[in-house]
Chains A and B, each alone.
Chain A
Amino acid sequence: MLKLIRRRLVYLIPVLLAVSLLTFLVAALLPGDMAEVLLGDQATPETLAALRHDMGLDQPLLVRYFIWLGHVLQGDFGRSFRTGQTVLAAVAERLPISLELMLGAQLIGLAIGIPVAIICAVHQGGRFDRAMTGGAFAMLSVPSFLSAILLIWLLAVEWQILPATGYTPFSEDPWANLRGFVLPALTLALGEWPVIMRVLRSDMIATLQEDFIAMARAKGLKQSRILLVHALKPSSLTLVTVTGINIGRLIGGAVIVETIFAMPGIGRLLVTAIYSRDLMMLQGVVLLVASGFVMLNFVVDLLYATLDPRIRHGRG
């Protein structure tokens, strides 16, 4: 197991380097540069050139990348030219909010997706299965900004059981904090459970036809044990992969949902950084988010080994 972790960690190095290069290029190749943004209307070619020289922007792209990478490797992601806050401090402040949102969305998505998938697989082709498979497809095609507004209308305006927008820190009022997260997390989960359900459903259908399931039936085990122990575990490899990859989708979704629900998370931070051309902030946040995503998928890889002993023993 330790050997496996070491081997996978070595693979991570080139991936993270590529991520950093892409992030840098995205920010650097945007038209216009920071000198222009900073100087605004008063810029003359001379002052622009002087500022560019001061900021190192007149250096070749590759040199600038390595200088930035060098700083990043020392833990210095730069600071926002707008607020003066360091990128790390800004991320540390906003990250918990986005993590809580994504964790909530993932949990709700799994809580809906897994049971529905199991019931559909057991009664494959039945009425419930057809309704849910169709429903999931419909749900997938509803964009999150639309479902967000529908949910706000239904739960916050009509029934008035949840706050429409806003964020209360957990330390201030845990109950209000959790209530505030329900709607945005539910919005994200509505796009999440259909994916979980469809992936798990088809894997479960295949697993239920395996000999070892017939064997489990012949052993006279309870249906719940057959489904949850004998069938769910070997069926969940794709589910775990998809859940890992979906984190990327969730980050994208968080940008929209945080904006709609006025949650001061990473998504909002990114949007603000883009609008204000805060390139250092943008670059830093994207790098941190992307690294986080890569690391999470690394954890997912390790989860495979927990789920499937054949991978653990190096035969996968």
Chain B
Amino acid sequence: MSLLEVENIVVDLPTPRGMLRAVDGVNLTLDAGRTLGVVGESGSGKTMLSRAILQLLPRRAKLSGAIRFDGQDMTRIAPETLRKLRAKSVAVVFQDPMTSLNPVLTIGSQLTETMREHLGVPQSEAILRGVALLAEVGIPSPEQRMGNYPHQLSGGMRQRVAIAIALSCAPKLLIADEPTTALDVTVQAQILDLLAREQRSRHMAMMLITHDLGVVAGRTDEVAVMYAGRVVERAPTRELFHHMRMPYTAALMAALPKLDAPPHTRLPAIGGRPPDPINPPPGCSFAPRCFYADAACDKAKPPLSAPDRMAHQFACIRPLPVKVAA
């Protein structure tokens, strides 16, 4: 049994124009202590997927499918049971630490309240642990910082505080939803390294959500690429970067700026736009933007399958050829 088993989940959001299918039948598993990268562009459903796992979907959203954590279906347990499980089972680091920390509460109170709620420790003990956590995530003079408000810290420091809060109850799974997107480039790598270090030393599972393939390379065990609410390619990280099969993943990879490109090279963008999630096309949702698509691609959605290598799944009937090792 895996730590996290996501089984065929579908998330529908009501909009004025009709139902928007944000997540369309996603299956995922994640074992304890492993890391999974979820990559996709804006609107690909990766954040809604994480919100579904966290059971933090908007009130009007409709969710079907099963999300089993430690064998327990999170979609079916009582709200109070779920509340008590939170923080100790799944914790989250959101994209923007400016908005995910409460602006009117001190760092200290936001850090200690979770421990007092779930670990039953007295305030004095929670403060000691909080200071130790702040030191662990690399915040200088942590005692003073406990009395500070979020706006008194820099963006990178704030994200470190958010990570400390997420770690405070020793979760088994940490979901990091674009944890570096709102930060300066200079601190992005520091935060990613901090996350990787904590993940390893605590033997915690981690789901790293990003739009940047470069972020997951070398930092995750496995990668799932999402497009239009579906997982379109999934493979161990090394395997994926060596043998991309899905044309979308390849296009995403090509869109990364390269340092060795000559000056004034145009960034290769993916032409066209993602399909309308309210009226999705009947066939492969990437077909309208795909260089390799033909008439067959517009007929039916290809299932996510692993025709030649067990661990490497992709949803494409015109996959890129497997590169022969040089």
| A interface residues (Cβ-Cβ under 8 A, vs B) | 210-212, 214-222, 225, 229-230, 233-234, 307-310, 313, 315
Residue of B nearest to A237 (CB): B104
Q: Assuming A230-B102, A307-B104, A309-B104, is B86 touching A214 (CB within 8 A)? A: no
A to B CB contacts below 8 Å, 8 in the list: A211-B100, A215-B102, A219-B87, A219-B114, A225-B117, A233-B104, A307-B104, A309-B103
Query: Is A215 touching B94 in the complex (CB atoms < 8 A)?
Result: yes
CA distance A308 to B106 in the complex (A): 11
Residue of A nearest to B152 (CB): A313
Query: Is B91 touching A212 in the complex (CB atoms < 8 A)?
Result: no
CB neighbours of A220 from chain B (8 A): 82-88, 114, 117-118
Cβ distance B94 to chain A, nearest Cβ, rounded Å: 5
CB neighbours of A214 from chain B (8 A): 51, 56, 94, 100
CB neighbours of A229 from chain B (8 A): 105
Query: Is B99 touching A210 in the complex (CB atoms < 8 A)?
Result: yes
CB neighbours of B96 from chain A (8 A): 211
Q: Assuming A217-B56, A218-B56, A219-B165, is B103 touching A212 (CB within 8 A)? A: yes
CA distance A26 to B165 in the complex (A): 60
Q: Assuming A217-B56, A221-B114, is B102 touching A234 (CB within 8 A)? A: yes
- The listed residue (B82, B86, B104) touching A219 by CB distance below 8 A is B86
CA distance A219 to B56 in the complex (A): 11
- The listed residue (A215, A307, A310, A313) touching B92 by CB distance below 8 A is A215
CA distance A217 to B151 in the complex (A): 21
Query: Is A234 touching B100 in the complex (CB atoms < 8 A)?
Result: no
- The listed residue (A210, A217, A230, A315) touching B105 by CB distance below 8 A is A230
CA distance A219 to B165 in the complex (A): 9
CB neighbours of B241 from chain A (8 A): none
| B interface residues (Cβ-Cβ under 8 A, vs A) | 51, 54, 56, 82-88, 90-92, 94-96, 99-105, 113-114, 117-118, 149, 151-152, 162, 165
CB neighbours of A217 from chain B (8 A): 56, 86
Residue of B nearest to A223 (CB): B83
CA distance A214 to B162 in the complex (A): 13
Cβ distance B81 to chain A, nearest Cβ, rounded Å: 11
CB neighbours of A310 from chain B (8 A): 103, 149, 151
CB neighbours of A307 from chain B (8 A): 104
Query: Is B102 touching A212 in the complex (CB atoms < 8 A)?
Result: yes
CA distance A92 to B180 in the complex (A): 62
Query: Is A218 touching B54 in the complex (CB atoms < 8 A)?
Result: yes
Query: Is B152 touching A212 in the complex (CB atoms < 8 A)?
Result: no
Cβ distance B63 to chain A, nearest Cβ, rounded Å: 16
Query: Is A234 touching B103 in the complex (CB atoms < 8 A)?
Result: yes
CA distance A220 to B54 in the complex (A): 11
CB neighbours of B118 from chain A (8 A): 220
CA distance A221 to B83 in the complex (A): 7
CA distance A211 to B56 in the complex (A): 11
Residue of B nearest to A312 (CB): B149
CA distance A220 to B84 in the complex (A): 6
CB neighbours of B85 from chain A (8 A): 220
CB-based closest 7 A-B pairs: A220-B86, A211-B99, A309-B149, A211-B100, A212-B102, A220-B87, A219-B114
Query: Is A221 touching B94 in the complex (CB atoms < 8 A)?
Result: no
Query: Is B54 touching A225 in the complex (CB atoms < 8 A)?
Result: no
Query: Is A216 touching B149 in the complex (CB atoms < 8 A)?
Result: no
Query: Is A308 touching B86 in the complex (CB atoms < 8 A)?
Result: no
Cβ distance B160 to chain A, nearest Cβ, rounded Å: 15
Residue of A nearest to B59 (CB): A124
Query: Is A308 touching B84 in the complex (CB atoms < 8 A)?
Result: no
CA distance A315 to B153 in the complex (A): 13
Cβ distance A189 to chain B, nearest Cβ, rounded Å: 28
- The listed residue (B84, B103, B113, B152) touching A225 by CB distance below 8 A is B113
Residue of B nearest to A310 (CB): B151
Cβ distance A206 to chain B, nearest Cβ, rounded Å: 12
Cβ distance A259 to chain B, nearest Cβ, rounded Å: 42
Query: Is B83 touching A212 in the complex (CB atoms < 8 A)?
Result: no
CA distance A215 to B152 in the complex (A): 20
Residue of B nearest to A233 (CB): B104
Cβ distance B53 to chain A, nearest Cβ, rounded Å: 11
Cβ distance A187 to chain B, nearest Cβ, rounded Å: 35
Cβ distance A138 to chain B, nearest Cβ, rounded Å: 28
Residue of B nearest to A209 (CB): B58
CB neighbours of B149 from chain A (8 A): 309-310, 313
CA distance A313 to B104 in the complex (A): 12
Query: Is B87 touching A218 in the complex (CB atoms < 8 A)?
Result: yes
Given A233-B105, A313-B149, A315-B151, 17 additional A-B pairs, CB 8 A? A212-B102, A214-B94, A215-B162, A218-B87, A219-B86, A219-B91, A220-B82, A220-B84, A220-B87, A220-B114, A221-B113, A222-B83, A225-B113, A225-B117, A309-B149, A309-B151, A310-B103
CA distance A225 to B117 in the complex (A): 10
Q: Assuming A220-B117, A309-B151, A315-B151, is B101 touching A215 (CB within 8 A)? A: yes
CB neighbours of A216 from chain B (8 A): 102
CB neighbours of A309 from chain B (8 A): 103-104, 149, 151
Query: Is B101 touching A212 in the complex (CB atoms < 8 A)?
Result: yes
CA distance A211 to B178 in the complex (A): 13
Residue of B nearest to A123 (CB): B59
- The listed residue (A211, A221, A222, A308) touching B104 by CB distance below 8 A is A308
CB neighbours of B84 from chain A (8 A): 220
Question: Which of B56, B95, B102, B118 is packed against the most chain A CB atoms within 10 Å?
Answer: B102
